[in-house]
Structure 1
C-alpha cells in the first residue's frame, strides 16, 4: 500500500515543486490565450507534467518502490535541463514581445527558470552519495 508523505507537502522541496507547477500553469494559460507559438505552450505543459510526476513520486514515496534509479539526481538534472530550455524560451518571449501575452509568458518562464535553478541547487546541496555526514568522519586503521 502506498503511504502519503505529508511532511513533503510542508517542506521546501514540496514548495518548489508546487510553485513550479503553478508558474508553468500560469505561463501555459498566458501563452494559450495569446495564441503564441505552439512551442511555448508545449514547453509549459511538459514542465507541468514532469514536475507533477516528480511531485507524486516524492509525495507517495514511490522512490522507495522504484529504487532502480537515484531519483534526487534525476530530479536535479531535470531541473537544470528545464532551466536551460525555460531560459531560452523566456528570452525569446521577452525579446519578441509584439504581443503582451508573449512578454508576460516570457517573464513567467524566466521566473520559472530561477525556481528550477534554486530547486536543483537545493537538491544537489542536500544530496549524499553514501558519504558520512560532516563531523562524523571516522578513521579506520
Structure 2
C-alpha cells in the first residue's frame, strides 16, 4: 500500500511542438481568434462573439492536447483528422462570418473583427493544408517516414 503512494505521475510537456511550424500556427490562430473575440465583444455582436469564443476554446483544447502529448494517450480518435476537420469547418465559417461582419458593420469593432476574422480563416486554411499534407492514408510506414524526413531537409 505504501508503494502505491510513492508512485508519482508526471505530465510530459512537448516544448518542441511550440517551436514547430504547426505549434506556431496554432498560437497565431489563438491570437487572431482572441483579438477578433475582443473586437466583436466591444461592438456587442453576440452572434459573432459566440462563434469566435467557441473556436477559441476548440483551438485551445487542441493546442493543449498536442502540448501535453494527450493525443498519444487518448487514441480513441485520430486527432490530426479531428484537427483537420475542425480547421476546414472553422475556415469556411469564419469566411462567411467575416463577410457578414464587413457587410453589416455599424461599429469599428465589427469592422476590425471582420478583418481579423479573414486573417484567422487564412491561418486555419494553412493549418488544414499542413495537416492534410502530413496525414497519409494507406501508405506503408517506411514510405511515410522517408517522405517526412525529405520534407524536413
Normalising by the residue count of structure 1, what TM-score does the alignment of the two structures yield? 0.90
Residue 17 of structure 1 is matched in structure 2 by: 26
Flag the 1:73–1:27 CA change in 2: closer, same or farther, 3 A.
same
Compare CA radii of gyration and give the structure with the larger one: 2
What is the alpha-carbon distance in structure 2 between the residues aligned to residue 40 and residue 120 of structure 1? 22
Provide Cα deviations, 1:64-122, integer angstroms capped at 9, x if missing partner: 11001100011000000011111111000111122211111011111101111100100
Contact 2:136–2:144 (Cα < 8 Å) also in 1 = no
Residue 3 of structure 2 is matched in structure 1 by: none
Q: Matched residue of 1:114: which SS?
A: helix
| TM superposition shift of 1:60 | 0.6
Q: Does 1:91 align with 2:93?
A: no
Q: In the alignment, which of 65, 70, 79 is matched to residue 73 of structure 2?
A: 65
Structure 1's consecutive aligned runs of 4 or more residues displaced over 6 angstroms after TM superposition are none
| TM superposition shift of 1:134 | 6.0
In the alignment of these two chains, the number of paired residues is 135
| TM superposition shift of 1:35 | 1.7
Residue 119 of structure 2 is matched in structure 1 by: 111
Higher helix share: 2
| Structure 1 residue runs without a partner (length 5+) | 137-141
